[in-house]
Structure 1
Amino acid sequence: MSDGTPRDKSTAYRRWQVAVFDRPATGIPAAGPPTDSAPPPQAPAAASPEPAGQTDAAAEAAVARPTDEEIERVVAEAHAAGHAAGYAAGYAAGQAEGLGDARAEAAKLAIVLDNLRQAVAGIEQEIADHLLALAIEIANQVMRQSLRLQPELILPLVREAMTALHPHQGQPQLFLHPDDAALVRARLGEQLAHGNWRISDDSTLTAGGCRVELGASEVDATVETRWRRVIEAIGVNPEWLREQA
């Protein structure tokens, strides 16, 4: 029990204060209020500034150094540019080489075509020559067949030979194939006798032709001679015609 005597309130409790944690403990209780003699807390020392030249160089180096992406982009662009340049150079070289090869092949082809053209021209000429020789031979056969089928065709020929050689002296002689001689005697006997013509058979002559002699003069109207004159008139050499036969 209380004896009624008042107690000192200061002994009943003490004011609590937050301890200071930014300096090491001294073993002195920190319960009491701070005194004015305690030094204030010191601010952390600021870093000493670097020289201005070094700061600018570091900043410039930081700005000048490219990033990895920029390096990769530059490398890619350089690779693409090199590839394009190499492709262009290779394409130009290949094109030049290809043009050279094309020109060489074109020259060879031109030579082949020229040879072929000459060969075709030679073949065409040969074909034309054979066709001409064949046409002449057909015409010759037609003429001979006509003379056999129409032996009276000898009569105009004999009249023409008689007018070509007018006898002034002597006796003209008419040589005919035996078949033609019989026909001429029957058709022109009186006319020939009046002109003092003598008809002679000659089996060496081809039917349809004749030969007339008077002294040193002669008229050759044989089938072979007349035919040679025909082909010469159209510009064909008889020797060439014999080669084609």
Structure 2
Amino acid sequence: MSSSKNGGAPKPASPYARFIPREELNSFAAWKPGALTGNEDAPQAPVQRAEPPAPPAPPKPSPEEELAAHVKAARTSGYQDGYRDGLVALDGFKQSYAAQITAQMGAIAESYNRQLDALQQDMARALAVSATHLARQIVRSELKQRPELVAAVAQEAVDTLLRSAQHITLRVHPDDHALVAQGAAEVIEARGGRVISDSEITRGGCVVESDIGVIDASVETRWRRAAASLGCDERWNGGPSADEDTAMDDERGTP
């Protein structure tokens, strides 16, 4: 009655849910893969895996496709070769052009330097000529305003002679005769010299003659030396020098 009250007989337990104690096990052994075949000690054969089927071979291209492929490859190779050769040619052109420009610039710089040097020389020559012209005017004005300076010139010329010189003669312009005789009287008398008038001597200068030589202290000679120190070759009267006169005569055929 009690079982009916409980709602019927109890449900049997699941055989997979029951835990078997060790005491209830009579015997047991480890399972081996060969147990199912009945030969547990036999070596197991390796498992053979099926190889996947080989992919089908690609279809052979047609002659037109092969020709197109060869043409494309030839074009690509030709483009690469042409591009490489073009780079080489461009690099060579750059180097050649740079060398050409450098040479041209060097020639231009050298020509510029030559022209600049010539211009500087012309400017220096023009400046020297202008300086000599100005100095000539100053000297002429000084000789007119201070004619007594010829005495100092004559005295300096006589002092230039050696002490052993004899027969000393001073040639001066007639207008300077009195000035030299008075201004350089002591030096002339001490050397035993004499003063002679000579109209060919330019006023302001003199020529000293002796038995051992001649001292040319004329205005023309002194002026030529002064002008030469400035790089000019002009005569006192403003004309060309003696060398220039000779050159002009040669050009005209004058003997």
For the Cα contact (< 8 Å) 1:133–1:244, is it kept in 2? Answer: no
1:61 aligns with 2:58: yes
Structure 2 distance, partners of 1:149, 1:236, is: 28
Q: Distance in 1 between matches of 2:106 and 2:146?
A: 58
Q: 2:107 & 2:158 partners in 1: Cα distance?
A: 63
For these two proteins, the number of residue pairs brought into alignment is 178
- Of the three residues 212, 218, 224, the one matched with 1:222 is 218
Matches of 1:95 and 1:167 in 2, distance apart?
85
**What is aligned with 2:100?**
104
Whether contact under 8 Å (2:170, 2:195) holds in the other structure is yes
SS at structure 1 position matched to 2:148: helix
The residue type paired with residue 110 of structure 1 is: G
The match for 2:128 is 132
1:174 aligns with 2:196: no
Q: Secondary structure at the match of 1:219?
A: strand
Q: In percent, how many aligned pairs have the same letter?
A: 29
1:1-245 counterparts in 2 under 5 A? Answer: 59-61=56-58, 86-165=82-161, 172-185=168-181, 187=183, 197-215=193-211, 217-231=213-227, 234=229, 236=231, 238=233, 242=241
Most deviating of 208-217 and 78-87: 78-87
TM (norm. structure 1) is 0.52
Query: Conserved in 1, the CA contact under 8 Å of 2:165 and 2:211?
Result: no
Task: State the Cα RMSD in Å.
Answer: 4.4
Distance 1:134 1:244 in 2: 19
1:160 partner letter = E
Q: Aligned equivalents of 2:184 and 2:234: distance in 1? A: 37
Looking at structure 2, the residues matched to 244 and 194 of structure 1 have their Cα atoms a distance apart, in angstroms, of 42
| TM-score, structure 2 as length reference | 0.51
* Structure 1 ranges of 4+ moved more than 6 A: 75-82
Runs of 5+ consecutive residues of structure 1 not aligned to the other structure: 1-54, 66-74
Stretches of structure 2 that go unaligned for 5 or more consecutive residues are: 1-52, 62-70, 246-255
